Amino acid sequence: MKFGNFRSNLLMGSVMLAIFAGGGHMKAPIANRAFAQNGAAKAQDSRPSAPLPAEPPAKNAVVFSRHDDFIPSMAFSPDGKRLASAGDNSVKVTDLETGKELLKLKNSRGMHFFSVAYSPDGRTLVGAQSMLKEKSSRRTGDTTITTLVYHGEVLVWDAQTGQVKTRLNDDDGPAWALAFSPDGKWLSIGAGPRPEDEDCKNDCPAFGEITLWETGDWKPIRRLRASSAAIRAIAISPDGQLIAGGSCLIDGGRGASVEEESRFEVFLWDAQSGDLKQKLPGHIKSITSLAFSPDSRLLASAGYDRNLKIWDCRTYELKKTASDMMLSVEEMQTIADATTAKSGKNPAPPVSWLNAISFSRDGKQVIGGSGDSIIRFYDSESAKLVGVLKPPGWPFFNSFAMIYPTGSADSAAPPVHSPPPPFIRGPDVGLLLRMRSRWPFHSGSLNSMALSPDGRTLAVGNSDGKIRLLVLK
């Protein structure tokens, strides 16, 4: 399908991809069974179902190449006409009417982009970038202590022309995630670990944080301190009252003190005062994504522990946890057959994890983008899996090898960054990788996801540098 009629098809509610629904393990791909189960679920819940894809000819999906390798972040413009994507050490802006690349925004000082965001008025585009600056190791008895120092900054562009308006450089600290306040008056930046003492040379206590910048004159106004792990996920409630930050280790388990390596919390701050309202414990691996419901009542968190958690923002209680992201026997066999044919020894993955999450615009579902490139739909109240959407051509894979982080105790654990490309371009990005002959790195692995302002289009960024636009009915 061509870009010229993409938006007209969207408005007509055209169907693009098949959906297979059901609770627990995914069932065999039989469309009638899927619709029957959806109907049964609806009978138990009087709420109307949120938009879900129906059965389609997959050939109608919009797939286009924009980058050479993985895409860590994407963002729709507020009017839904443009899509910004990060990759190849640049941010590119695509016109969704024509499919043309409108802007290519370069990085600074050889750094790598990790997040992009539009201001609510659509006039400003921002990109967070970071890079490994210094690495040193020393031995203390039988222990080797490795210190990694990152630097970074946020570039602020005119969204129409691509001209750099300013650079937000907070003592040259790294910048991992971005989010504008609903009124656009301030920008939050996920950062860290930041040394408590800038002059420290040896064992330096550090902490993750969110910095708030006023967007009128682009001055820092507040710091929100978290634990010793970096803040790699940010969400701001639609009512503008709460800021959520999720802790994440970087570089194969580095970036947090030893006692916190198995404890990952979601932090909730009061957006007006900056006071810490609550810590939400429960994840045992790095948090990958956060999302508030449209009414600001619920917060969803996802992590590398393969869990989706839904929290009540009024009581701070954990309402539900979903972890049924198992692949079906048929899907596992499909991958196993293909990988075995080439290597003879690569086992299929037992589960996946969620790299990106978003609430549907009506708040009735949580949409999760998984490392296995499958989109999963969860009921926001029960956390039950109610739908699955597969991009055209799934499964994607490359039997060369999976790329794993150094120092991981779990051989099946996902990378601590968005899945990197099969080879690293440019200067050292601090990923500290090693190769293992395990579940193969698949070039279509989902790294990022964005839901259009009208909730009808889902943009998926993959490790093959391609962007897939999926229309939700």
pLDDT of 451 strictly over 50: yes
Structural domain boundaries enclosing 151: 107-304
Among residues of the chain, what percentage have pLDDT more than 90? 46
pTM of the entire structure?
0.78
pLDDT of 44 strictly over 50: no
Is 75 part of any domain? no
* Mean pLDDT of the residues in the chain: 75
Rounded to the nearest angstrom, the gap between the alpha carbon of residue 183 and the centroid of all alpha carbons in its chain is: 23
Same domain, 451 and 375: yes
Same domain, 284 and 334: no
Question: What does the block give as tokens for 264?
Answer: 């990952």
Is 159 part of any domain? yes
Q: Identify the pLDDT of residue 203.
A: 66
Q: Which amino acid is at 47?
A: R
Same domain, 44 and 129: no
- CB contact set of 40 (below 8 Å; sequence gap of 6+): none
Is 464 part of any domain? yes
Final residue belonging to a domain, choices 274, 304, 334: 304
Same domain, 158 and 285: yes
Final residue belonging to a domain, choices 269, 304, 339: 304
Per residue in 183-233, pLDDT (tens digit) is 999 999 999 887 777 677 666 777 899 999 999 999 999 999 998 889 999
Rounded to 10 degrees, the C-alpha dihedral 248/251/256/257 comes to 150
Is 319 part of any domain? no
Q: Identify the pLDDT of residue 334.
A: 60
What is the number of other CB atoms lying within 10 angstroms of the CB of residue 412?
14
- CB contact set of 163 (below 8 Å; sequence gap of 6+): 157
Of the listed ranges 188-192, 264-268, 324-328, 438-442, the least confidently predicted one is 438-442
Is 318 part of any domain? no
pLDDT mean over 356-372: 94
pLDDT of 339 strictly over 70: no
Say whether 442 sits in a helix, a strand or coil: coil
Cα-based angle 331, 333, 339 (whole degrees, multiple of 5):
110
Same domain, 437 and 335: yes
pLDDT mean over 357-363: 97
Same domain, 404 and 298: no
Per residue in 80-135, pLDDT (tens digit) is 999 999 988 899 999 999 999 999 999 999 899 999 999 999 999 999 999 988 87
Q: What is the CATH number of the domain that holds 210?
A: 2.130.10.10
User: Burial letters for 94-105: b for 16+ Cβ neighbours within 10 Å, e otherwise?
Assistant: bebeeeeeebeb
Per residue in 48-62, pLDDT (tens digit) is 334 443 333 334 579
Same domain, 395 and 293: no
Is 254 part of any domain? yes
Say whether 316 sits in a helix, a strand or coil: coil
Cα-based angle 81, 83, 84 (whole degrees, multiple of 5):
140
Distance CA 63, CA 417 (A): 24
Domain count, the chain: 2
Is 86 part of any domain? no
Distance CA 107, CA 154 (A): 10
Same domain, 229 and 132: yes
Instruction: Measure Cα distances from 188 to 88, 251, 301 in Å.
Output: 24, 23, 18
pLDDT of 167 strictly over 90: yes
* More confident of the two residues 305 and 19: 305
DSSP per-residue string spanning 13-35:
T---S-B---SSSPPPS-HHHHH
Of the listed ranges 27-36, 204-213, 366-375, the least confidently predicted one is 27-36
Question: What does the block give as tokens for 252?
Answer: 């194969």
Same domain, 160 and 28: no
